[in-house]
Amino acid sequence: MANDALALVELGSVARGLKALDALVKKAPVTLLEANLVEPGHYLLLFVGEVAAVQESFAEALAVSEGAVLDSLLLPFAHPDLLAGLQGAETPADADSLDTLGLVEARTVAATLGACDRCLKDADVKLVGLRVAGGLGGRGWFALCGAQHDVEAGLDVARGSLGDAAHAIELIPRPHEEMVPWLLRRAPFRLGGPGGP
């Protein structure tokens, strides 16, 4: 199954989230990346698959979750690096190879993923890593790298994409070698299925 599309539904009820989870996996063949609590007491459903299947499951999840949906996102053709980043892939970062870092923190998980996808498509940057759950208070963030002018362009894309959903956007030219190892500490949990690490 191709994983071209990505969808996210964030709900304000665990019970309704579990009902939506059951409905969306029954509706079409999709691959669940995460179904879990995120602060502050929200339930997050994140899944991928072929475009038509994801669209059908997304619509079904929204239909059975009416009144409980806090945020949602549908990316019919998500950037492949975004999908890889959600599954824990990271670009090795060392100070010698990093010209400039761009850091983008958004107020919601959906806004984070949408902005990351837009940056990767519209600017000549690489995704260093991505964090969307556990210990972030419902926010998410990602790091980009590249030549300074390219990272600046990527951060401009993020600002335009996020609007009021932006929490913080930072540029770090020539990051110090003692800072880089702290950039992407292991997440409290990684997306990866029931009982995963």
Give residue 31's pLDDT: 94
Give residue 179's pLDDT: 83
CA atoms of 120 and 123, how far apart (whole Å)? 6
Token pair belonging to 94: 């060392």
Fold classification of 5-75 is Alpha-Beta Plaits (3.30.70)
**Cα(first)–Cα(last) distance of the chain, in Å?**
24
Q: DSSP for 31-63, please give it.
A: EEEEEEEETTTEEEEEEEE-HHHHHHHHHHHHH
| pLDDT tens-digit readout, 161-188 | 999 999 999 999 998 888 877 777 664 4
CA atoms of 117 and 119, how far apart (whole Å)? 6
| pLDDT tens-digit readout, 10-20 | 999 999 999 99
CB 83 within 8 A of CB 103: no
CB 90 within 8 A of CB 129: yes
CB 115 within 8 A of CB 158: yes
Asked if domains 5-75 and 80-182 share a fold, the reply is yes
| CA-wise closest residue to 114 among 77, 146, 60 | 77
CB 35 within 8 A of CB 44: yes
Fold classification of 80-182 is Alpha-Beta Plaits (3.30.70)
Q: What is the pTM of this model?
A: 0.86
SS3 label, residue 113: helix
Give residue 197's pLDDT: 41
CA atoms of 157 and 140, how far apart (whole Å)? 17
CA atoms of 179 and 143, how far apart (whole Å)? 13
CB neighbours of residue 170 within 10 Å? 12
Domain ranges of the chain: 5-75, 80-182
Taking the alpha carbons of 119, 120, 126, 132 in that order, is the dihedral positive or negative? positive
Q: What is the pLDDT along the chain (197 residues), one digit of tens a residue?
A: 467 999 999 999 999 999 999 999 999 999 999 898 887 778 999 999 999 999 999 999 999 998 999 999 999 999 999 998 888 777 766 555 678 999 999 998 999 999 999 999 999 999 998 888 666 777 889 999 999 999 999 999 999 999 999 999 999 999 888 887 777 766 444 455 554 44
| Beta-sheet strands, E only, within the chain | 5-11, 31-38, 42-49, 69-75, 100-106, 126-131, 140-146, 166-173
